[in-house]
Amino acid sequence: MPLSPITLAPHQVLYEQVAERLMQLITDGTLQPGDRLPSVRKLRSQLSVSTSTVMEAYRLLEDRGLILVRPQSGYYVKQSPLNLPQEPSTTTPPRQATDIDISLAFEVMDLMRNPELIQLGAALPALEQLPLAQLNRLMGKVLRENSLLAHAYGTLLGDLGLRVEVAKRMLDAGCSVHSDQMVITNGANEAIYFCLQALTQPGDTVAIESPTYFAMLEAMKCLGLKALTLSTHPRDGISLSHLEEALESGEVKVVMLVSNFSNPLGSCMDDTRKKQLVELLNRYNTPLIEDDVYGDICFAGARPKAIKAFDTEDRVLYCASVSKTLSPGLRVGWCVGGRYHPAIAQMKSIINQNTAIAPQLTVAAFLANGGYDRHLRQLRRAYRDQMIRMQQAERDYFPAETCMTRPEGGHVLWLEMPQGFDSMRLYREALDQRIAIAPGIMFSASGQCYRNCFRLNTAVVWSEAVEQAMQTLGKLAKTQLAENFLRADGP
Ligand SMILES: Cc1ncc(COP(=O)(O)O)c(C=O)c1O
């Protein structure tokens, strides 16, 4: 099956184009699972590209779980890309700023901590897949070696060694930041809260993606802020034209986003749009709070850049943590505040002085010892495989009308049912069967949108029980849809 040489399309990297070509052959069935792919040498000469380009393309397909390498034998097709249901369309939330209603979130969060439920609701990492034994050993060592220091008040900005390690990691996200411009926080949520508190007064309006990570809504509610919700595409993120209109109206004080593999949609803006977003912020003199907790969990290729990487005027306040990759319980996060750094440091000092020292030193030691990249490689693969299993189960068990996102990283999946579907009913019926899900209205600022949607956590180690839970959810959804159909069709 000779392939013709590639002509480079604008805005596309050569190896990605080679990978696309091969993926097409796998998708249309020309190459079947178990088939051997052309050798690197053969493909190189057929396509007139370099050896490293072919190797990169094969690596990308391997990362996507489509091919596998057999040592001393070659590359083989592992599986065909999933024939996935349709994606949800771009959201169209109300265009005026609204007060925030988060009454449901507390109830759901409480249930999300119940170990007796199959937890498909909370966006928690699977603890079994985190390097807990290693972290526990390091924590013991840290406490033995710092038996006094670990109990003292720490420095306001946080442990310098940790800040240096985080600054090094941020180079991968395209950000060159100084450790003096960073505050270590109790997780990303605290960082987000401090940013909002430092930048706003009660009554101010914050422009956010919609649907929105509900802890952002909770923080805004606490601070008496209003939400201006932006149309959001499930893959590309917020509508920049909608944002521009909102900025033009003069009512937006701050913009706030999850930049990479957002929660709950899984969207990830490409670099061009990230750059355009920063240009808009500069033009309208507006700060952005960027939450990048999922950026390290990309399924294929290099980690996406942060919006902060394009920040020419120091307006982006960058927040992240190790909660999704190492340990949610250590509560170690950070904020790089740009021009607002002094205000963030002041907030930290007022609210809780400093983050506990032992967890900071433990994370610093883990990041410094070089095991983080290896761990990330395993975790990305595990999360990718679990996402695929969840998508397969959705395709097999859910009604044909279900639309589903296709995240390329992170660990949440967003499902959209036809209008009229009630995910609160599904939530309650699922609870009766000991299954937790996150109903869509939790992610709506007004508590009025996304009633027909719900979110599933995909960071669960696959088991018979999870498979059965998906089967049960599918059955409940089908029953509800059938009843809705009969009611609509009735006399
Ligand atoms: C988008 C997003 N940001 C922040 C967090 C929480 O981070 P942390 O546990 O570090 O406070 C979560 C957890 O679900 C999240 O999904």
Question: Taking the CB of residue 487, how many other CB atoms lie within 10 A of it?
Answer: 9
Q: Is the per-residue pLDDT at 9 higher than 70?
A: no
Rg of the chain (C-alpha set): 23
Rounded distance between C-alpha atoms, residue 359 and residue 336, angstroms: 19
Residue 158: predicted pLDDT: 96
Domains of the chain plus CATH, in order, are: 14-77 (1.10.10.10), 131-371 (3.40.640.10), 373-489 (3.90.1150.10)
Indicate if ligand 1 lies below 6 Å from the C-beta of 188.
yes
**How remote is the CA of residue 376 from the centroid of ligand 1, in Å?**
18
Ligand 1 centroid, distance to 321 Cα (angstroms): 8
Return the SS3 of 29: coil
In this predicted structure, the answer to whether residue 457 has a pLDDT above a threshold of 60 is yes
For the CA of 412, the nearest atom of ligand 1: 16
> With a 6 A CB cut-off, is 328 part of the ligand 1 pocket?
yes
What's the number of CA atoms in the CB half-sphere (13 Å) around residue 377? 7
Angle between helices 341-352 and 187-199 (to 10 degrees): 120
Residue 485: the pLDDT is: 78
CA of 263 to the centre of ligand 1 (A): 9
Average pLDDT over residues 278-298: 97
pLDDT mean over 444-461: 94
> Hey, is 236 helix, strand or coil?
coil
Q: Is 123 in the pocket of ligand 1 (CB under 6 A)?
A: yes
**Looking at residue 480, what is its pLDDT?**
95
Q: Is 291 close to ligand 1, i.e. is its CB under 6 Å away?
A: yes
Considering the chain, what is the average pLDDT of its residues?
Answer: 91
SS (H, E, C) 93-126: CCCCCECCCCHHHHHHHHHHCCCCCEECCCCCCC
Read off the pLDDT of each residue in 123-142 and give the average, rounded to a whole number: 94
| Residue 265 Cα to ligand 1 middle (Å) | 14
Predicted TM-score of the model (pTM):
0.87
- Ligand 1 probe mutation, 127, 166, 183, 189, most atoms within 8 A of CB: 189
With tokens 């001393």, the residue in question is: 72
Helix ranges (DSSP H) in 28-73: 40-47, 51-63
DSSP state of 294: T
Q: Is 197 close to ligand 1, i.e. is its CB under 6 Å away?
A: no
CA separation (Å) from 192 to 59, 198, 291, 450? Answer: 36, 10, 7, 24
Q: How confident is the model at residue 6 (pLDDT cuts 50, 70, 90)?
A: low
Reported as a pLDDT band with limits 50, 70 and 90, residue 11 is low
Task: Name the pairing type of β-strands 453-457 and 412-416.
Answer: antiparallel
pLDDT in tens, 48-100: 888 989 988 888 888 777 888 888 888 888 876 667 788 998 999 988 888 88
pLDDT, residue 20, reads 83
**121 CB less than 6 Å from ligand 1?**
no
Give, for ligand 1, the residue of 109, 195, 213, 267 to mutate: max count of ligand atoms closer than 8 Å to Cβ.
Answer: 213
Q: How many angstroms is it from 124 CA to the middle of ligand 1? A: 9
Residue written as tokens 């709950």?
264
The alpha helices in 113-227, defined as continuous H runs, are 132-145, 160-170, 187-199, 214-222
290 in contact with ligand 1, CB cutoff 6 A:
no
Phi/psi zone of residue 481: left (φ > 0), alpha (ψ -120 to 50 degrees), beta?
A: alpha
Longest dimension (CA), the chain: 77
Question: Which of 7-16, 87-96, 114-123, 262-271 shows the lowest mean pLDDT across its residues?
Answer: 7-16
Tens digits of per-residue pLDDT, 316-374?
Answer: 999 999 999 999 999 999 999 999 999 999 999 999 889 999 999 999 999 998 789 99
Going from the Cα of 477 to the center of ligand 1, the distance in angstroms, rounded, reads 28
Hey, which of 291, 317, 363 would you mutate to test ligand 1's pocket, going by the most ligand atoms within 8 Å of its Cβ?
291
Please indicate whether residue 213, judged by its CB atom, sits closer than 6 Å to ligand 1: yes
d(C-alpha 296, C-alpha 379), whole Å? 10
> 438 burial class (0-12, 13-18, 19+ CB within 10 angstroms)?
buried
Query: Residue 213 CA: which ligand 1 atom is closest?
Result: 1
Atom of ligand 1 nearest to the CA of 258: 1
Determine if ligand 1 sits within 6 Å of the CB of residue 125.
no
Q: Which residues pair with 226 in a beta bridge?
A: 205
